[in-house]
Chains A and B, each alone.
Chain A
Amino acid sequence: MNKNDIIQSDRRIESGEPLLELIDLKTHFKTERGLVRAVDGVTLSLKRGESLGVVGESGSGKTVLSRSIMGLLPSTAVKHGSVKFAGQDIVGFSAKQMRHLWGAEMSMVFQNPLNSLNPLMKIGKQITEPLKLHLGMDKATATATALQLLRDVRIPEPERRLNQLPHELSGGMRQRVMIAIALACGPTLLFADEPTTALDVTVQAQILDLIGEQRRDRNMSVILVTHDLGVVAGHTDQIAVMYGGKLVEHAPTKTLFANMKMPYTKSLMRSIPKLSDPSHTRLATIPGRPPDLVNPPLGCNFAPRCMYALPKCHVEEPPLTPTADPKHVYACWYPVGSPEFEKRDAELQATGYMPEDFSAVS
């Protein structure tokens, strides 16, 4: 693909078509243990300017999902399905073809700001690198642009920073630099993979605000990957909940929080301590551990850990079902609100949502 294709597709984006469209995306890894189904059939779409939160437990495939879209996977990965970016299917693109998109059209912010900047390269160089590469800027222009970017992400004394090395900056500042790099070429899609997990809460808030602000300013789409429901709640338009490589619930943010359909989402929600609850409030837990992605359980992935599971759940895989709101889909036979669920919930209420037997957990 060349640059022209992208520019052409820009028109289509403005015409309201989705910027990113995933259709039954599957990413599997070949390992000696067998095929790891890290992402197993995800269908999504995202318009320009929108933000999507991807949440799920560790190992649920969030990172693999975003890297599958970016095309940044190790060679052991096999992709199926389609990824349409600006109308073009990029699933089969080689690294060489993807290079034109990376940085320029889609870019990424990683979890650990300590590691995601090259420790031995000056900040300035790291920011100007993509500018020269994609926009063909000369050194002076690139440096000026880099300065502007640093100002945009609100780094104090930007001139001085250009000549500093990452270790001379604090974690929060490094993450800002990362964001500046990601924004450098004005991408239309930004992936932020747990951008704040390694940061203090106070800094986390700043960074999330910064990303939100840049998204609005640049009319950029953002995919925010995190395991923290709190983070997505305040910073996204829609949320995709992943479990065991599958999309289990997907809805606009407010809809989701108002009306969680998946017992998994619900349990996740209940297991988070909330400031508004009085101290010593009993937390809900999800027993057991996430499914083995090599030998996923029959039927619903979540069934073995689901306190609401019924025999059917262990046999048959639930399809993604829309609710009344077509934008809200979920994959569950007995969603929250269904009679079977309510019945079971009443039973559980009595036991304080504790799984009966701990050793079942081990």
Chain B
Amino acid sequence: MRYWLQRLGVAVALLLAVSALTFGAMNLLGDPLFNILGPTSASTLPEDLEIIEAAKAEYNLDDPLPVRYVKWGSAFVTGDFGVQFSVDGQPPVSDLIKERLPRTVMLLIIAQTMAVLIAIPWALFAASRADKAVDKVSTVTSFLFIAIPNFGLAVILKYLFSLKWSIFPLIFNAADPFWTRVWQLVLPAMALALPVASVYQRLLRTDLITTLQEDYILTARSKGVSKRNVLFKHALRPSLFSFITIFGINTGALLGGSLIVEQIFIVPGLGTAIVEAILREDFPVVLAIVMIVTTAFVVINVLVDLLYSLIDPRVRAS
């Protein structure tokens, strides 16, 4: 219990730090007034000055930075993420998030699922034949996938699967029915998943090989357990730890990858949104997305911890 409280404390501190950093950076390096008003912010006409004054008052721009941060933060925790500066009419950021988040979440879920479904059997296969020819081929393959930059892979996949062979659709269309949209996300997810699967595979393979050298594997074999059952029942579970850790950490990295993949596959998700928002210095959007991502990161890593203790009761004990 205490442990979880402590985790919570760290999580909160982390969110505060991340938000303060982002908030500070955006306000110091950017020009919020311009981002709210656009060209009008530079106007010297009297009627425009009024608008400028009004905007300054509305967005507390005359307050010192810390005060603004606190105001932003206290609104944020009540679910008021502010308005989008760069969109006409300044609709609430929460609208954007509501629309985009599910797409990105779906993309990441498909990607992670694919990665795991590819990586685990692959690793089991490679580890059970460690250092044989097949394993070497698999190692080379995984190296290739790790070394190919995600933008390169995305471009190649799109070219082959969408353009050349027309297996997957070229574009995400928000107006299509749910399952069609899911289908539209499969190829982008694949671009994210393949390198990640390779990373998972290599990690899991190494751990499996280590595990397979443990005495208890020998025990299992000397009991007469078949090779397959040794792999699945005895070796897999104890080998999952670094895999799970990386799985948690990778969620952040995957989101980074989705910035580019969403761009290439034209998926209007959080990745596209944040790139756009950053370019236009749409602070509330950037902040909201950064906070969501960080929170997700924290939550996932807590889940990973939970998963740990599920997999390994020894952790629960301590």
Contacts and interface: CB of A to CB of B under 8 A. Distances in A.
B314 A102 contact: no
A168 B226 CA distance: 27
Contacts of B216: 115-119
Contact of A165 (B220, B233, B313): B313
Given A119-B238, A119-B312, A178 B223 contact: no
A178 B219 CA distance: 9
Contact of A104 (B218, B224, B226, B314): B224
A103 interface: yes
B215 A110 contact: yes
A151 interface: no
Contacts of A75: 132
Given A108-B219, A118-B234, A118-B238, A134 B224 contact: yes
B7 interface: no
Contact of A99 (B224, B234, B313): B224
Contact of A115 (B132, B215, B225, B234): B215
Nearest to B234: A118
Interface in A80-116: 95, 99-104, 107-108, 110-112, 115-116
Contacts of A70: 222
A178 B216 CA distance: 10
A244 interface: no
Interface string A158-174: 00000001011000000
Contacts of B227: 95
Contact of B314 (A101, A118, A167, A181): A167
Given A110-B215, A112-B215, A120 B312 contact: yes
Contact of B311 (A120, A129, A181): A120
Interface string B275-318: 00000000000000000000000000000000000011110010
Contacts of A205: none
B136 interface: no
| Most B C-beta atoms less than 10 A away, residue of A101, A111, A118, A129 | A118
A75 B129 CA distance: 10
A130 interface: yes
Interface size class of A (residues with CB under 8 A): 20 to 34
Contacts of B71: none
B80 interface: no
Interface in A59-81: 70, 72, 75
A110 B218 contact: yes
Contact of B219 (A99, A100, A118): A118
A120 B313 contact: yes
A346 B311 CA distance: 64
A298 interface: no
Contacts of A111: 215
Contacts of A112: 215
Interface in B191-225: 214-216, 218-225
Interface in A296-313: none
Contacts of A181: 219, 223
B314 A103 contact: no
Nearest to A133: B224
A344 to B, nearest CB: 43
A341 B226 CA distance: 53
Contacts of B132: 75
Contacts of B224: 99-104, 130, 133-134
A170 B203 CA distance: 32
A121 interface: yes
A99 B226 contact: yes
A108 B314 contact: no
Nearest to A118: B216
Given A112-B215, A116-B218, A117-B216, A130 B223 contact: yes
Contact of A103 (B215, B222, B312, B313): B222
B187 to A, nearest CB: 37
A117 B222 CA distance: 12
Given A95-B227, A120-B312, A102 B221 contact: yes
Contacts of A101: 224
Interface in B84-140: 132
Contacts of B223: 102-103, 107, 129-130, 133, 181, 184
Given A116-B215, A120-B312, A102 B317 contact: no
A18 B70 CA distance: 86
A118 B313 CA distance: 12
B120 to A, nearest CB: 17
Contacts of B314: 119, 165, 167
Given A104-B224, A130-B224, A167-B317, A117 B219 contact: yes
Contacts of A129: 220, 223, 225
Nearest to B217: A118
A352 to B, nearest CB: 41
Nearest to A108: B222
Nearest to A130: B223
A72 B237 CA distance: 22
B311 A72 contact: no
A115 B210 CA distance: 12
10 contacts: A95-B227, A99-B224, A99-B226, A108-B222, A111-B215, A112-B215, A118-B238, A119-B216, A119-B312, A120-B312
Q: Which 4 A-B pairs have the closest CB atoms?
A: A102-B224, A116-B215, A103-B224, A115-B215
Given A99-B226, A117-B216, A118-B219, 17 more contacts: A70-B222, A75-B132, A102-B222, A103-B224, A104-B224, A111-B215, A112-B215, A115-B215, A118-B238, A119-B238, A119-B312, A129-B225, A130-B223, A130-B224, A133-B224, A133-B225, A167-B317
